Structure 1
Amino acid sequence: MLKSGWAHLFLLFIFSLFSIIETAWQDENGMENGEIDMVFFNLPHGEATLITNYYGDNILINTGSEKSEKSLNEQLKQMGITEIDQVIISNEEEAYSGNLQNVITKYHVNKAILPESFEMEQNQSVKIEKWQSDKVYTLFDHLMVQNIDISKDDEISFMLHYGEESVLFLNDGNISIEPKLIDQHRQVDILKIAEFGSGESPSQRLLKQINPIISIIFHSNKHEINEDLIERLNASWIDIYFLKQSGTVYVRMSQSDYELLS
Protein backbone atom coordinates (compact mmCIF):
# COMPACT_ATOMS: atom_id res chain seq x y z
CA MET A 1 0.00 0.00 0.00
CA LEU A 2 2.85 2.37 0.89
CA LYS A 3 4.61 1.68 -2.40
CA SER A 4 1.37 2.26 -4.23
CA GLY A 5 0.92 5.60 -2.48
CA TRP A 6 4.43 6.76 -3.40
CA ALA A 7 3.88 5.69 -6.99
CA HIS A 8 0.67 7.72 -7.10
CA LEU A 9 2.45 10.78 -5.71
CA PHE A 10 5.27 10.35 -8.22
CA LEU A 11 2.84 10.24 -11.13
CA LEU A 12 1.11 13.37 -9.82
CA PHE A 13 4.50 15.10 -9.61
CA ILE A 14 5.39 14.17 -13.21
CA PHE A 15 1.99 15.33 -14.47
CA SER A 16 2.34 18.63 -12.59
CA LEU A 17 5.85 19.13 -13.97
CA PHE A 18 4.71 18.75 -17.57
CA SER A 19 1.80 21.09 -16.91
CA ILE A 20 4.20 23.72 -15.55
CA ILE A 21 6.48 23.38 -18.59
CA GLU A 22 3.58 23.75 -21.02
CA THR A 23 2.18 26.73 -19.10
CA ALA A 24 5.61 28.39 -19.07
CA TRP A 25 5.88 27.99 -22.85
CA GLN A 26 2.39 29.38 -23.32
CA ASP A 27 3.10 32.35 -21.02
CA GLU A 28 6.39 33.08 -22.77
CA ASN A 29 5.03 33.50 -26.28
CA GLY A 30 1.27 33.87 -25.76
CA MET A 31 0.60 30.82 -27.89
CA GLU A 32 -2.31 28.54 -27.04
CA ASN A 33 -2.47 24.79 -27.51
CA GLY A 34 -3.43 24.05 -31.11
CA GLU A 35 -1.70 27.12 -32.54
CA ILE A 36 1.51 27.43 -34.54
CA ASP A 37 3.73 30.38 -35.34
CA MET A 38 5.17 30.93 -38.80
CA VAL A 39 8.11 33.33 -39.00
CA PHE A 40 9.33 34.68 -42.34
CA PHE A 41 12.84 35.96 -41.62
CA ASN A 42 14.24 39.18 -43.03
CA LEU A 43 17.75 38.15 -44.06
CA PRO A 44 20.54 39.94 -45.95
CA HIS A 45 20.25 37.36 -48.74
CA GLY A 46 18.01 34.32 -49.12
CA GLU A 47 14.99 32.53 -47.68
CA ALA A 48 14.31 31.03 -44.26
CA THR A 49 10.97 30.37 -42.56
CA LEU A 50 10.51 28.95 -39.05
CA ILE A 51 7.44 27.02 -37.93
CA THR A 52 7.05 26.39 -34.21
CA ASN A 53 4.23 24.87 -32.16
CA TYR A 54 2.89 25.15 -28.62
CA TYR A 55 5.30 22.50 -27.34
CA GLY A 56 8.39 24.19 -28.74
CA ASP A 57 8.95 21.86 -31.70
CA ASN A 58 10.69 23.71 -34.53
CA ILE A 59 10.91 23.27 -38.30
CA LEU A 60 13.04 25.47 -40.55
CA ILE A 61 12.15 25.81 -44.23
CA ASN A 62 15.36 26.79 -46.04
CA THR A 63 18.31 28.37 -44.27
CA GLY A 64 19.21 31.50 -46.19
CA SER A 65 22.66 32.00 -47.69
CA GLU A 66 25.95 31.67 -45.88
CA LYS A 67 26.05 35.48 -45.74
CA SER A 68 22.88 35.37 -43.64
CA GLU A 69 24.28 33.07 -40.94
CA LYS A 70 24.80 35.82 -38.36
CA SER A 71 21.38 37.41 -38.94
CA LEU A 72 19.55 34.08 -38.74
CA ASN A 73 21.38 33.03 -35.58
CA GLU A 74 20.66 36.36 -33.88
CA GLN A 75 16.95 36.18 -34.67
CA LEU A 76 16.67 32.57 -33.53
CA LYS A 77 18.48 33.51 -30.31
CA GLN A 78 16.02 36.35 -29.68
CA MET A 79 13.21 33.81 -30.01
CA GLY A 80 14.90 31.43 -27.58
CA ILE A 81 15.39 28.76 -30.25
CA THR A 82 18.24 26.37 -29.37
CA GLU A 83 17.13 23.24 -31.25
CA ILE A 84 15.52 22.65 -34.64
CA ASP A 85 13.87 19.28 -35.19
CA GLN A 86 13.62 19.33 -38.98
CA VAL A 87 15.05 21.32 -41.87
CA ILE A 88 13.30 21.43 -45.24
CA ILE A 89 15.22 22.56 -48.32
CA SER A 90 13.13 23.47 -51.37
CA ASN A 91 15.95 24.62 -53.66
CA GLU A 92 19.61 23.64 -53.69
CA GLU A 93 20.80 27.13 -54.68
CA GLU A 94 22.99 28.93 -52.15
CA ALA A 95 20.33 31.52 -51.27
CA TYR A 96 18.15 28.72 -49.89
CA SER A 97 20.63 26.19 -48.53
CA GLY A 98 23.97 27.96 -48.04
CA ASN A 99 23.57 28.01 -44.26
CA LEU A 100 22.46 24.38 -43.93
CA GLN A 101 25.59 22.89 -42.39
CA ASN A 102 25.72 25.62 -39.75
CA VAL A 103 22.06 25.05 -38.85
CA ILE A 104 22.50 21.26 -38.59
CA THR A 105 25.52 21.60 -36.32
CA LYS A 106 24.37 24.49 -34.14
CA TYR A 107 20.73 23.46 -33.67
CA HIS A 108 21.08 19.66 -33.43
CA VAL A 109 18.81 18.90 -36.38
CA ASN A 110 17.30 15.39 -36.40
CA LYS A 111 15.88 15.23 -39.92
CA ALA A 112 16.30 16.97 -43.28
CA ILE A 113 14.04 16.83 -46.35
CA LEU A 114 16.14 17.65 -49.42
CA PRO A 115 15.85 17.83 -53.22
CA GLU A 116 16.81 14.58 -54.96
CA SER A 117 20.00 16.00 -56.48
CA PHE A 118 21.12 17.79 -53.31
CA GLU A 119 24.35 16.54 -51.76
CA MET A 120 25.53 17.37 -48.26
CA GLU A 121 28.22 16.27 -45.85
CA GLN A 122 27.61 12.90 -44.24
CA ASN A 123 26.12 13.25 -40.76
CA GLN A 124 24.99 10.07 -39.04
CA SER A 125 22.84 11.97 -36.54
CA VAL A 126 20.62 13.46 -39.28
CA LYS A 127 17.98 11.37 -41.04
CA ILE A 128 17.86 12.33 -44.72
CA GLU A 129 14.67 12.12 -46.76
CA LYS A 130 14.40 13.21 -50.39
CA TRP A 131 11.39 15.03 -51.87
CA GLN A 132 9.03 12.74 -53.78
CA SER A 133 6.47 13.82 -56.36
CA ASP A 134 2.94 14.38 -55.03
CA LYS A 135 3.85 13.10 -51.56
CA VAL A 136 2.25 14.53 -48.42
CA TYR A 137 4.55 14.93 -45.39
CA THR A 138 3.18 15.22 -41.84
CA LEU A 139 5.27 17.64 -39.75
CA PHE A 140 3.19 18.29 -36.61
CA ASP A 141 -0.31 17.19 -35.66
CA HIS A 142 -2.60 18.57 -38.39
CA LEU A 143 0.36 20.29 -40.11
CA MET A 144 1.09 18.78 -43.52
CA VAL A 145 3.21 19.66 -46.52
CA GLN A 146 1.99 18.62 -49.95
CA ASN A 147 4.55 18.50 -52.74
CA ILE A 148 2.94 20.26 -55.73
CA ASP A 149 5.73 20.31 -58.30
CA ILE A 150 9.40 19.53 -58.81
CA SER A 151 10.94 21.56 -61.64
CA LYS A 152 13.69 20.33 -63.97
CA ASP A 153 16.12 22.28 -61.75
CA ASP A 154 14.87 20.50 -58.61
CA GLU A 155 12.93 23.53 -57.34
CA ILE A 156 10.13 22.25 -55.12
CA SER A 157 6.85 24.16 -54.86
CA PHE A 158 4.62 22.96 -52.06
CA MET A 159 1.46 23.69 -50.11
CA LEU A 160 1.49 23.82 -46.34
CA HIS A 161 -1.86 22.85 -44.77
CA TYR A 162 -2.84 23.48 -41.15
CA GLY A 163 -6.47 22.55 -40.67
CA GLU A 164 -8.44 24.88 -42.94
CA GLU A 165 -5.50 27.26 -43.46
CA SER A 166 -3.10 27.02 -46.41
CA VAL A 167 0.24 28.61 -47.29
CA LEU A 168 1.63 28.19 -50.81
CA PHE A 169 5.41 28.22 -51.18
CA LEU A 170 6.06 28.91 -54.87
CA ASN A 171 9.65 28.13 -55.82
CA ASP A 172 9.42 28.11 -59.61
CA GLY A 173 8.81 31.53 -61.17
CA ASN A 174 7.70 30.00 -64.47
CA ILE A 175 3.96 29.92 -65.18
CA SER A 176 4.21 26.32 -66.46
CA ILE A 177 3.56 25.13 -62.90
CA GLU A 178 0.22 26.92 -62.66
CA PRO A 179 -2.18 24.35 -64.23
CA LYS A 180 -1.41 21.97 -61.36
CA LEU A 181 -2.38 24.65 -58.85
CA ILE A 182 -5.47 25.81 -60.72
CA ASP A 183 -6.77 22.23 -60.98
CA GLN A 184 -6.78 21.94 -57.18
CA HIS A 185 -9.43 24.67 -56.85
CA ARG A 186 -8.03 25.62 -53.46
CA GLN A 187 -7.94 29.05 -51.84
CA VAL A 188 -4.67 30.11 -50.24
CA ASP A 189 -4.28 32.42 -47.24
CA ILE A 190 -0.59 33.28 -47.64
CA LEU A 191 1.52 33.13 -50.81
CA LYS A 192 5.31 32.99 -50.73
CA ILE A 193 6.43 34.42 -54.06
CA ALA A 194 9.01 32.45 -56.07
CA GLU A 195 12.51 33.61 -57.03
CA PHE A 196 12.46 36.71 -54.83
CA GLY A 197 9.78 38.36 -56.94
CA SER A 198 11.76 38.17 -60.18
CA GLY A 199 9.70 35.53 -62.02
CA GLU A 200 6.48 35.54 -64.04
CA SER A 201 4.32 33.51 -61.65
CA PRO A 202 1.74 34.02 -60.26
CA SER A 203 -0.31 35.05 -63.27
CA GLN A 204 -3.59 36.94 -62.97
CA ARG A 205 -5.47 33.71 -63.64
CA LEU A 206 -3.75 31.91 -60.77
CA LEU A 207 -4.23 34.83 -58.39
CA LYS A 208 -7.95 34.83 -59.16
CA GLN A 209 -8.12 31.09 -58.47
CA ILE A 210 -6.18 30.91 -55.20
CA ASN A 211 -7.19 34.40 -53.95
CA PRO A 212 -4.43 34.96 -51.34
CA ILE A 213 -4.67 37.70 -48.72
CA ILE A 214 -0.95 38.11 -48.05
CA SER A 215 2.15 37.67 -50.21
CA ILE A 216 5.72 37.36 -48.93
CA ILE A 217 8.81 38.36 -50.91
CA PHE A 218 12.22 37.50 -49.46
CA HIS A 219 15.28 39.63 -50.27
CA SER A 220 18.02 38.69 -52.72
CA ASN A 221 21.14 40.59 -53.72
CA LYS A 222 21.10 38.95 -57.14
CA HIS A 223 17.50 39.17 -58.36
CA GLU A 224 15.59 42.15 -59.74
CA ILE A 225 11.93 42.58 -58.87
CA ASN A 226 9.51 42.01 -61.75
CA GLU A 227 7.42 45.19 -61.62
CA ASP A 228 4.66 43.63 -63.73
CA LEU A 229 4.28 40.93 -61.08
CA ILE A 230 4.03 43.51 -58.31
CA GLU A 231 1.44 45.39 -60.34
CA ARG A 232 -0.65 42.20 -60.61
CA LEU A 233 -0.47 41.63 -56.86
CA ASN A 234 -1.52 45.21 -56.14
CA ALA A 235 -4.35 45.04 -58.69
CA SER A 236 -5.64 41.94 -56.89
CA TRP A 237 -5.68 43.77 -53.53
CA ILE A 238 -3.09 41.44 -52.04
CA ASP A 239 -0.96 42.77 -49.18
CA ILE A 240 2.69 42.57 -50.21
CA TYR A 241 5.41 42.15 -47.58
CA PHE A 242 8.86 42.93 -48.94
CA LEU A 243 10.83 41.58 -45.99
CA LYS A 244 13.76 43.94 -46.57
CA GLN A 245 11.32 46.82 -45.98
CA SER A 246 8.84 45.34 -43.52
CA GLY A 247 11.30 43.30 -41.47
CA THR A 248 10.64 39.78 -40.23
CA VAL A 249 6.96 38.83 -40.41
CA TYR A 250 5.33 36.77 -37.63
CA VAL A 251 2.08 34.90 -38.29
CA ARG A 252 0.10 33.02 -35.62
CA MET A 253 -2.15 30.34 -37.03
CA SER A 254 -4.89 28.11 -35.67
CA GLN A 255 -6.63 25.44 -37.72
CA SER A 256 -9.37 27.88 -38.68
CA ASP A 257 -7.79 31.35 -38.67
CA TYR A 258 -4.55 33.34 -38.57
CA GLU A 259 -3.29 36.76 -37.52
CA LEU A 260 -0.21 38.85 -38.18
CA LEU A 261 1.77 39.54 -35.02
CA SER A 262 4.03 42.05 -36.78
Structure 2
Amino acid sequence: MKMLLLAAVIFFQLTLIGSASSFEYSNVEKIDLNLKDQEIAVTFLGLGDGEATLIQGSNGENILINTGGEETSKDLTEILKTYGVKKISTIIITNRQNLFVDQLTQIIPKYNIKKLISTPEITNEVKNMPAPFIDVEVIPWKEGTSQVLFPDLLAEVLFAGNSENEGIDFTLQFFKHRIFLMTSSSDHVEENLLKKPLDDVTIFKVPNWAKEDSLSEKLIQYVNPQISILFESEQHQPDPNIIYDLQDTWSEVFFTKKHGTITIKFTENNYEVFTFPVEKEDYS
Protein backbone atom coordinates (compact mmCIF):
# COMPACT_ATOMS: atom_id res chain seq x y z
CA MET A 1 0.00 0.00 0.00
CA LYS A 2 1.28 3.36 -1.00
CA MET A 3 1.89 5.66 1.90
CA LEU A 4 0.97 9.30 1.75
CA LEU A 5 3.06 11.56 3.89
CA LEU A 6 1.34 14.89 3.65
CA ALA A 7 3.88 17.43 4.81
CA ALA A 8 3.07 20.56 6.71
CA VAL A 9 2.44 23.43 4.39
CA ILE A 10 5.44 25.71 4.11
CA PHE A 11 4.75 29.42 4.01
CA PHE A 12 7.29 32.04 3.05
CA GLN A 13 7.31 35.59 4.34
CA LEU A 14 6.69 37.76 1.31
CA THR A 15 6.92 41.42 0.53
CA LEU A 16 4.07 42.06 -1.85
CA ILE A 17 5.08 44.36 -4.68
CA GLY A 18 3.35 45.06 -7.98
CA SER A 19 -0.19 44.73 -9.29
CA ALA A 20 -2.92 42.66 -7.72
CA SER A 21 -2.73 40.07 -10.50
CA SER A 22 1.02 39.39 -10.40
CA PHE A 23 2.87 36.70 -8.48
CA GLU A 24 6.10 37.78 -6.80
CA TYR A 25 8.40 34.77 -7.03
CA SER A 26 11.47 37.00 -6.80
CA ASN A 27 10.70 37.51 -3.11
CA VAL A 28 10.60 33.79 -2.28
CA GLU A 29 13.61 32.07 -0.75
CA LYS A 30 15.43 29.42 -2.75
CA ILE A 31 13.83 25.99 -2.48
CA ASP A 32 16.31 23.15 -2.02
CA LEU A 33 14.60 19.76 -2.22
CA ASN A 34 17.82 17.93 -1.25
CA LEU A 35 17.18 15.03 -3.63
CA LYS A 36 19.15 11.89 -2.90
CA ASP A 37 19.77 8.80 -5.01
CA GLN A 38 16.54 7.12 -6.11
CA GLU A 39 14.51 10.27 -5.48
CA ILE A 40 12.76 12.63 -7.85
CA ALA A 41 10.53 15.69 -7.47
CA VAL A 42 7.58 16.64 -9.65
CA THR A 43 6.47 20.25 -9.28
CA PHE A 44 3.28 21.73 -10.69
CA LEU A 45 4.07 25.42 -11.08
CA GLY A 46 1.58 27.98 -9.82
CA LEU A 47 2.04 30.55 -12.58
CA GLY A 48 -1.39 32.17 -12.48
CA ASP A 49 -2.27 30.95 -15.98
CA GLY A 50 -1.51 27.84 -18.01
CA GLU A 51 0.31 24.59 -17.31
CA ALA A 52 3.95 23.98 -16.50
CA THR A 53 5.41 20.98 -14.68
CA LEU A 54 9.02 20.58 -13.57
CA ILE A 55 10.62 17.16 -13.06
CA GLN A 56 13.91 17.09 -11.14
CA GLY A 57 16.22 14.13 -10.71
CA SER A 58 18.83 13.47 -8.06
CA ASN A 59 21.50 13.69 -10.79
CA GLY A 60 20.67 17.40 -11.25
CA GLU A 61 18.84 16.87 -14.52
CA ASN A 62 15.62 18.84 -15.16
CA ILE A 63 12.68 18.28 -17.51
CA LEU A 64 10.00 20.89 -18.18
CA ILE A 65 6.52 19.96 -19.39
CA ASN A 66 4.90 22.99 -21.06
CA THR A 67 5.75 26.60 -20.30
CA GLY A 68 2.68 28.11 -18.66
CA GLY A 69 0.43 30.72 -20.23
CA GLU A 70 1.32 33.09 -23.03
CA GLU A 71 2.02 35.96 -20.60
CA THR A 72 3.79 34.04 -17.81
CA SER A 73 7.38 33.96 -19.11
CA LYS A 74 8.69 36.25 -16.35
CA ASP A 75 7.04 34.23 -13.59
CA LEU A 76 8.32 31.00 -15.12
CA THR A 77 11.89 32.33 -15.07
CA GLU A 78 11.55 33.46 -11.45
CA ILE A 79 10.15 30.19 -10.17
CA LEU A 80 12.73 28.10 -12.04
CA LYS A 81 15.39 30.25 -10.40
CA THR A 82 13.74 29.66 -7.03
CA TYR A 83 14.08 25.90 -7.61
CA GLY A 84 17.71 26.32 -8.58
CA VAL A 85 17.16 25.39 -12.24
CA LYS A 86 19.92 26.62 -14.52
CA LYS A 87 19.73 23.95 -17.22
CA ILE A 88 16.85 21.93 -18.65
CA SER A 89 17.74 18.82 -20.62
CA THR A 90 14.33 18.22 -22.20
CA ILE A 91 11.12 20.13 -22.79
CA ILE A 92 7.82 18.40 -23.52
CA ILE A 93 4.98 20.25 -25.26
CA THR A 94 1.80 18.27 -24.76
CA ASN A 95 -0.49 19.91 -27.35
CA ARG A 96 -0.96 22.84 -29.69
CA GLN A 97 -2.62 24.96 -27.00
CA ASN A 98 0.64 24.82 -25.06
CA LEU A 99 2.87 25.62 -28.03
CA PHE A 100 4.18 29.19 -27.67
CA VAL A 101 6.97 29.60 -30.20
CA ASP A 102 8.13 32.99 -28.90
CA GLN A 103 8.52 31.57 -25.38
CA LEU A 104 10.42 28.54 -26.66
CA THR A 105 12.73 30.76 -28.70
CA GLN A 106 13.81 32.41 -25.44
CA ILE A 107 13.75 29.34 -23.17
CA ILE A 108 15.77 26.96 -25.37
CA PRO A 109 19.05 28.93 -25.37
CA LYS A 110 18.53 30.30 -21.83
CA TYR A 111 18.38 26.81 -20.31
CA ASN A 112 20.52 25.02 -22.89
CA ILE A 113 17.68 22.66 -23.85
CA LYS A 114 18.89 19.73 -25.96
CA LYS A 115 15.66 17.80 -26.63
CA LEU A 116 12.09 18.78 -27.49
CA ILE A 117 9.31 16.18 -27.32
CA SER A 118 5.78 16.63 -28.68
CA THR A 119 3.17 15.09 -30.96
CA PRO A 120 4.32 13.96 -34.44
CA GLU A 121 2.47 16.89 -36.03
CA ILE A 122 4.09 19.52 -33.79
CA THR A 123 7.57 18.01 -34.07
CA ASN A 124 7.31 18.08 -37.88
CA GLU A 125 6.61 21.81 -37.68
CA VAL A 126 9.41 22.47 -35.21
CA LYS A 127 11.97 20.67 -37.39
CA ASN A 128 11.46 23.32 -40.08
CA MET A 129 11.87 26.29 -37.72
CA PRO A 130 15.07 28.36 -37.61
CA ALA A 131 17.46 28.74 -34.69
CA PRO A 132 17.37 27.91 -31.86
CA PHE A 133 15.16 24.97 -32.90
CA ILE A 134 17.69 23.63 -35.41
CA ASP A 135 20.09 22.96 -32.53
CA VAL A 136 17.57 20.82 -30.62
CA GLU A 137 16.89 17.11 -31.06
CA VAL A 138 13.18 16.83 -31.86
CA ILE A 139 11.48 13.63 -30.70
CA PRO A 140 7.90 12.69 -31.67
CA TRP A 141 5.77 10.75 -29.20
CA LYS A 142 2.91 8.63 -30.48
CA GLU A 143 0.60 6.16 -28.80
CA GLY A 144 2.62 3.25 -27.45
CA THR A 145 5.91 5.16 -27.17
CA SER A 146 8.01 4.33 -24.10
CA GLN A 147 11.08 6.35 -23.11
CA VAL A 148 13.33 6.39 -20.08
CA LEU A 149 13.66 10.02 -18.97
CA PHE A 150 15.72 9.55 -15.79
CA PRO A 151 17.14 6.46 -14.16
CA ASP A 152 14.07 4.59 -12.81
CA LEU A 153 11.65 7.06 -14.49
CA LEU A 154 9.77 5.66 -17.48
CA ALA A 155 7.34 7.61 -19.67
CA GLU A 156 4.62 5.70 -21.52
CA VAL A 157 2.31 7.38 -24.04
CA LEU A 158 -1.30 6.20 -23.76
CA PHE A 159 -2.74 8.49 -26.43
CA ALA A 160 -1.45 11.09 -28.87
CA GLY A 161 -3.85 13.09 -31.02
CA ASN A 162 -3.88 16.31 -33.02
CA SER A 163 -7.58 17.19 -33.11
CA GLU A 164 -9.13 19.96 -31.03
CA ASN A 165 -8.73 19.27 -27.30
CA GLU A 166 -6.24 16.47 -27.98
CA GLY A 167 -2.54 16.01 -27.36
CA ILE A 168 -0.22 13.66 -25.49
CA ASP A 169 -1.66 11.69 -22.58
CA PHE A 170 1.12 9.83 -20.79
CA THR A 171 2.18 8.27 -17.52
CA LEU A 172 5.43 8.50 -15.59
CA GLN A 173 6.42 5.41 -13.64
CA PHE A 174 8.91 5.82 -10.78
CA PHE A 175 9.26 2.59 -8.84
CA LYS A 176 5.69 1.89 -7.65
CA HIS A 177 4.48 5.48 -8.11
CA ARG A 178 2.52 6.33 -11.24
CA ILE A 179 1.79 9.86 -12.44
CA PHE A 180 -0.88 10.31 -15.11
CA LEU A 181 -0.52 13.57 -17.05
CA MET A 182 -3.74 13.86 -19.05
CA THR A 183 -4.00 16.49 -21.78
CA SER A 184 -6.84 15.42 -24.06
CA SER A 185 -10.57 15.58 -23.42
CA SER A 186 -13.14 13.96 -25.72
CA ASP A 187 -15.39 10.92 -25.79
CA HIS A 188 -13.01 9.27 -28.27
CA VAL A 189 -10.03 9.78 -25.95
CA GLU A 190 -11.88 8.46 -22.92
CA GLU A 191 -13.00 5.35 -24.79
CA ASN A 192 -9.34 4.74 -25.60
CA LEU A 193 -8.08 5.41 -22.07
CA LEU A 194 -10.72 3.18 -20.46
CA LYS A 195 -9.02 0.26 -22.21
CA LYS A 196 -5.64 1.10 -20.65
CA PRO A 197 -4.40 -0.17 -17.25
CA LEU A 198 -4.92 2.90 -15.07
CA ASP A 199 -5.87 1.33 -11.77
CA ASP A 200 -2.66 2.27 -9.96
CA VAL A 201 -2.44 6.04 -10.48
CA THR A 202 -0.86 7.97 -7.62
CA ILE A 203 -0.99 11.50 -9.09
CA PHE A 204 -3.49 12.66 -11.72
CA LYS A 205 -2.99 15.92 -13.63
CA VAL A 206 -6.52 16.84 -14.72
CA PRO A 207 -6.93 17.92 -18.37
CA ASN A 208 -8.17 21.28 -19.68
CA TRP A 209 -8.37 22.99 -16.29
CA ALA A 210 -11.32 20.72 -15.39
CA LYS A 211 -13.61 22.93 -17.43
CA GLU A 212 -17.16 21.74 -18.08
CA ASP A 213 -17.45 18.38 -19.88
CA SER A 214 -13.67 17.90 -20.00
CA LEU A 215 -13.70 14.77 -17.84
CA SER A 216 -16.35 12.15 -17.15
CA GLU A 217 -17.28 10.63 -13.81
CA LYS A 218 -16.68 7.20 -15.35
CA LEU A 219 -13.03 7.95 -16.16
CA ILE A 220 -12.47 9.59 -12.78
CA GLN A 221 -13.77 6.47 -11.04
CA TYR A 222 -11.63 4.30 -13.31
CA VAL A 223 -8.41 6.24 -12.60
CA ASN A 224 -9.25 6.61 -8.89
CA PRO A 225 -6.18 8.77 -8.12
CA GLN A 226 -4.73 9.41 -4.68
CA ILE A 227 -3.98 13.05 -5.57
CA SER A 228 -5.45 15.26 -8.31
CA ILE A 229 -3.85 18.45 -9.62
CA LEU A 230 -5.79 21.28 -11.29
CA PHE A 231 -3.95 24.10 -13.04
CA GLU A 232 -5.28 27.66 -13.18
CA SER A 233 -6.62 29.31 -16.32
CA GLU A 234 -7.64 32.92 -16.83
CA GLN A 235 -10.19 31.83 -19.43
CA HIS A 236 -11.75 28.75 -17.82
CA GLN A 237 -13.24 27.91 -14.45
CA PRO A 238 -13.23 24.35 -13.08
CA ASP A 239 -16.52 22.47 -13.23
CA PRO A 240 -17.82 21.91 -9.66
CA ASN A 241 -19.19 18.53 -10.75
CA ILE A 242 -15.71 17.35 -11.77
CA ILE A 243 -14.27 18.50 -8.46
CA TYR A 244 -17.05 16.69 -6.61
CA ASP A 245 -16.43 13.50 -8.62
CA LEU A 246 -12.70 13.65 -7.82
CA GLN A 247 -13.39 14.15 -4.13
CA ASP A 248 -15.92 11.33 -4.25
CA THR A 249 -13.05 8.95 -5.03
CA TRP A 250 -11.30 10.24 -1.86
CA SER A 251 -8.72 11.94 -4.03
CA GLU A 252 -6.87 14.83 -2.39
CA VAL A 253 -7.47 17.74 -4.79
CA PHE A 254 -4.88 20.52 -5.16
CA PHE A 255 -5.45 23.72 -7.13
CA THR A 256 -2.57 25.94 -8.26
CA LYS A 257 -4.95 28.89 -7.85
CA LYS A 258 -5.53 28.04 -4.19
CA HIS A 259 -2.38 26.20 -3.13
CA GLY A 260 0.22 27.88 -5.36
CA THR A 261 3.12 25.71 -6.51
CA ILE A 262 2.75 22.05 -5.57
CA THR A 263 5.85 19.85 -5.21
CA ILE A 264 5.67 16.10 -4.75
CA LYS A 265 8.93 14.46 -3.67
CA PHE A 266 9.15 10.74 -4.36
CA THR A 267 11.35 8.12 -2.78
CA GLU A 268 11.28 4.45 -3.77
CA ASN A 269 8.41 3.68 -1.38
CA ASN A 270 6.83 6.94 -0.25
CA TYR A 271 6.06 10.49 -1.28
CA GLU A 272 5.60 13.85 0.39
CA VAL A 273 3.52 16.80 -0.77
CA PHE A 274 4.68 20.39 -0.23
CA THR A 275 2.74 23.48 -1.22
CA PHE A 276 4.43 26.84 -1.66
CA PRO A 277 1.70 29.47 -1.78
CA VAL A 278 2.69 32.83 -3.22
CA GLU A 279 0.12 35.38 -2.24
CA LYS A 280 -1.49 37.99 -4.41
CA GLU A 281 -2.71 41.33 -3.18
CA ASP A 282 -6.43 41.29 -2.43
CA TYR A 283 -6.50 37.55 -3.16
CA SER A 284 -8.64 35.35 -0.99
TM-score, normalised on structure 2?
Answer: 0.77
**Corresponding residue to 2:143 among 124, 133, 137:** 133
1:163 equivalent in alignment to 2:163: no
Which amino acid is 2:121 matched to?
S
Where does residue 151 of structure 1 map in the other structure?
A: 161
What is the DSSP-based 3-state SS (H/G/I as helix, E as strand, rest coil) of the residue aligned with 1:195? helix
Q: Which deviates further from its counterpart, 168-177 or 141-150?
A: 168-177
Q: Which deviates further from its counterpart, 189-198 or 109-118?
A: 109-118
Indicate if the aligned counterparts of 1:66 and 1:98 stay in contact, CA closer than 8 A: no
Where does residue 90 of structure 2 map in the other structure?
A: 86
Where does residue 242 of structure 2 map in the other structure?
A: 229
Which of the two has higher C-alpha Rg?
1
CA positional deviation for 1:82: 0.7
Alignment CA distance shift 1:75-1:191 (3 Å): same
Alignment CA distance shift 1:98-1:171 (3 Å): farther
Please give the root-mean-square deviation of Cα atoms over the aligned residues, in Å. 1.9
The structure showing larger relative contact order (alpha-carbon pairs under 8 Å, at least 6 residues apart) is 2
Alignment CA distance shift 1:102-1:191 (3 Å): same
Which amino acid is 1:74 matched to?
E
**Corresponding residue to 1:255 among 247, 263, 268:** 268
CA positional deviation for 1:199: 4.6
Which structure dedicates a bigger proportion of its chain to helix? 1
User: Following superposition of structure 1 onto structure 2, how do residues 43-122 of structure 1 map, counting pairs within 5 Å?
Assistant: 43-94=47-98, 99-118=103-122, 119-120=125-126, 121-122=129-130
TM-score, normalised on structure 1?
Answer: 0.83
What is the DSSP-based 3-state SS (H/G/I as helix, E as strand, rest coil) of the residue aligned with 1:187? coil
CA positional deviation for 1:97: 6.8
What is the DSSP-based 3-state SS (H/G/I as helix, E as strand, rest coil) of the residue aligned with 2:225? coil
- List alignment gaps of at least 5 residues for structure 1: 1-27
What is the DSSP-based 3-state SS (H/G/I as helix, E as strand, rest coil) of the residue aligned with 2:120? coil
Indicate if the aligned counterparts of 1:91 and 1:97 stay in contact, CA closer than 8 A: no
CA distance in 1, matches of 2:143, 2:98: 23
- List alignment gaps of at least 5 residues for structure 2: 1-31, 276-284
Which amino acid is 1:113 matched to?
I
Where does residue 258 of structure 2 map in the other structure?
A: 245
* Aligned residues between the structures: 235
Alignment CA distance shift 1:237-1:209 (3 Å): same
CA distance in 1, matches of 2:241, 2:100: 24
What is the DSSP-based 3-state SS (H/G/I as helix, E as strand, rest coil) of the residue aligned with 2:237? coil
Where does residue 142 of structure 1 map in the other structure?
A: 152
Q: Percent identity?
A: 29
Q: Which deviates further from its counterpart, 95-104 or 73-82?
A: 95-104
Q: Which deviates further from its counterpart, 211-220 or 98-107?
A: 98-107
Indicate if the aligned counterparts of 2:37 and 2:58 stay in contact, CA closer than 8 A: yes
User: Following superposition of structure 1 onto structure 2, how do residues 170-249 of structure 1 map, counting pairs within 5 Å?
Assistant: 170-185=182-197, 186-249=199-262
